[in-house]
Amino acid sequence: MSGEFSHITVLLNEAVEALAIRPDGVYVDATFGRGGHSGRILAALGPVGRLIAFDRDPRAIEAGRALNDPRLTLVHEPFSAFAGELDALGVGAVDGVLMDLGVSSPQLDDASRGMSFRFDAPLDMRMDPTRGETAAEWLARASVAEISNVLREYGDERFAYAIAKAIDAARQGGNVATTGQLAEIVAATVRTREPGQHPATRTFQALRICVNRELEELSLILPQAVSRLKTEGRLVVIAFHSLEDRIVKRFMRDHAKPPALPKGLPIREAERPQPPLLLVGDAIKPSKAEVAANPRSRSAIMRVAARSASAWEYAG
C-alpha cells in the first residue's frame, strides 16, 4: 500500500505461499502493518474467503480501511488478544495465521513516533500511541538496575550499566524526554561501536521492545494461534530479532514433539499421539536480491508449521 510513509513487505511471496491458501478459507494476519501481506492474501481468497487482520497501530488500521474489502475485518488490538477477539467475531477455527513481527518502516520513519534516533522528537516508542506508557515515562520511573537489565537482555548492550547510570545522572536535572537527548547520552557513554552502527542503536531497540512488551506479546499469541488452527492449517512467523526468533523456534520445535506419556505405558509406536504441530521445511531468509532492494529485510527469518491431525487436543 502507498502512503506518506512507505513500507516494503518482507518475504511477501514466500509468506503467502507458505500459508497454502484455500479460496474459501479463514485467515488471520496478526500484524497488518500497511497491508502488504493482507493484500496478497485477499487476492488469493475467493468471494467467501475471510481475513481478520490485527494491529495495535491506529494508523495501520486507518490504512487498512482504504482496502474497502468486505472480506477483511480489522481489529485494533495487540495480537495477544487473538482468541478473545476471534470469539467476539464468532470465528472458531482458522486455516492459517501469519505474523510479521517487529516494527514497520512507517513507525520508524515517522519522527512523531519517537522510535528513531535519526530525528529529535518526543521519546514515545509506543506502537499504539493511544495506550500505555511512553519510553520517556518508563525511563523516568525505572531504576538503574531495571534500565540496565532491559538494555542487556533486549539489546545485547555490553555497556548497559554505564548507559543506565548516565541516564540516571541526566534525569536528575529533569526527565529524558526526547530521542535526541537519549541519543546524545548514549553517544557520550559508548565510545566504541561496530562500524556503521550508531552508538544508540541497541538502546533504542531494547527500549522499544520493553515499552511494547513485544516478547511477552509473542509468547502469548503462539499457543492461542495453534489452538485455533484447523488440521493442516499453517502458522507462518517472520522474525527480525534473535530473541523473537528464538521464542518462535523453540515453540515450534517443542510442539512438534509427541506429548510425554507415563513411563511403562504399554503402547505401540503407531498409537502414540501426534504432536500438535508439524514443521514445514527449513527456515527461510530473504534472497540476496531482496536484501539489496530492501536492506531492512536482511535480518528476517521465516519459520512455518502446520497443525497436525492429532486426536490429542492442544490446550496451549
The dihedral over CA atoms of 254, 256, 261, 267, expressed in degrees to the nearest 10, equals -160
- Same domain for 206 and 245, yes or no, is no
Hunting for cell 548497559 — which residue is that? 160
pLDDT of 262 reads 65
Residue 107, annotated ligand binder? yes
For residue 272, what pLDDT band results from cuts at 50, 70 and 90?
A: low
Residues 164 and 94 in one domain: no
**What are the tens digits of pLDDT across the range 167-191?**
999 999 888 999 999 999 999 999 7
Q: What is the pLDDT of residues 197-223, one digit of tens each?
A: 889 999 999 999 999 999 999 999 999
Chain segment 30-73, per-residue pLDDT in tens: 999 988 999 999 999 999 999 999 999 999 999 999 999 999 99
Structural domain includes residue 36: yes
Contact 96, 173 (CB under 8 A): no
Q: Are residues 64 and 96 in the same domain?
A: yes
Asked if residue 173 belongs to a domain, the reply is: yes
pLDDT computed for residue 241 by the predictor = 92
Q: Is the pLDDT of residue 1 over 60?
A: no
230 and 302 inside one domain: yes
Residues 40 and 173 in one domain: no
The answer on whether 7 is annotated among ligand-binding residues is: no
Q: Which of 99, 88, 75, 61 is nearest to 229 (CA)?
A: 99
**Per-residue cell: 128:** 499504539
Mean predicted confidence (pLDDT) in 10-29: 97
**Sign of the CA dihedral running 267, 271, 277, 278:** positive
Question: Residue range 140-152: average pLDDT?
Answer: 98
Q: Does any domain span residue 156?
A: yes
pLDDT band at 267 (very low <50, low <70, confident <90, very high): low
Whether residue 2 is predicted with pLDDT greater than 90 in this model: the reply is no
Task: Evaluate whether 160 touches 152 at the Cβ level (below 8 Å).
Answer: yes
pLDDT at 119: 87
Over residues 115-129, mean pLDDT: 92
d(CA 168, CA 139): 9
Q: What is the mean pLDDT of residues 134-152?
A: 97
Cβ neighbours of residue 277 under 8 Å, at least 6 residues apart?
226, 235, 252, 255, 256, 305, 306, 307, 308
Residue 120 domain-assigned (yes or no): no
271: confidence class by pLDDT, cuts 50, 70, 90? low
37 is in an annotated binding site: yes
282 within 8 A of 231, measured Cβ to Cβ: no
Query: What is the C-alpha to C-alpha distance for residues 96 and 169, in angstroms, rounded to an integer?
Result: 49
* Domain total of the chain: 2
| pLDDT > 70 fraction of the chain, expressed in percent and rounded | 91
For residues 221 and 100, membership in a common domain is answered with: yes
The residue among 161, 194, 211 that closes a domain is 211
Q: Look over the chain and give the mean of its residue pLDDT values, rounded to a whole number.
A: 91
* pLDDT confidence of residue 268: 59
Domain boundary among 158, 181, 211: 211
State yes or no: 55 annotated in a binding site.
yes
**Same domain? 175 vs 222:** no
Does residue 122 lie within any of the structural domains?
A: no
Range of the domain at 298: 12-105+215-307
pLDDT tier for residue 108 given thresholds of 50, 70 and 90: confident
Residue 255 labelled as part of a binding site: no
- Which value, in Å, is the radius of gyration of the alpha carbons in the chain? 21
Last residue of a domain, one of 211, 237, 264: 211
Residues 16 and 91 in one domain: yes
Residue 247 lies in a domain: yes
Query: Domain of 297: which CATH number?
Result: 3.40.50.150
- Do 207 and 143 lie in one domain? The reply is yes
Is 118 a domain residue? no
**Pairing mode, strands 301-307 and 229-239:** antiparallel
Q: What are phi and psi of 94, to 5 degrees?
A: -125, 165
Query: In terms of domains, do 184 and 223 share one?
Result: no
Shared domain for 171 and 137, answered yes or no, is: yes
- Write down the pTM of the prediction: 0.90
Q: Is residue 315 part of a domain?
A: no
Shared domain check, 201 and 152: yes
pLDDT grade for 316, boundaries at 50, 70 and 90: very low
Q: What is the pLDDT of residues 53-62, one digit of tens each?
A: 999 999 999 9
